[in-house]
Amino acid sequence: MPLRKIEYDKLNAREKENYNFLKVSAVLADYGYMTTRLSDDWKGADFIAHHIDGETILRVQLKGRLDLREKYRRKHLYVAFRNEDQWYLYPHDEVLKWVLANTGVKRTVSWSKRGGYSFPGLSDRIRKMLEKYRIGSLCRAGPTGTGS
In the chain, what are the domains? 8-137 (3.40.1350)
Beta pairing partners, 50: 34, 57
- Tell me: pLDDT of 142 over 50: no
How far apart, in whole angstroms, are the C-alpha atoms of residue 70 and residue 97?
A: 11
- Tell me: pLDDT of 148 over 50: no
| Residue 139 pLDDT class (50, 70, 90 cuts) | low
- Tell me: pLDDT of 25 over 70: yes
- Tell me: pLDDT of 87 over 80: yes
For 40-62, what is each residue's pLDDT tens digit? 878 889 999 999 999 999 999 99
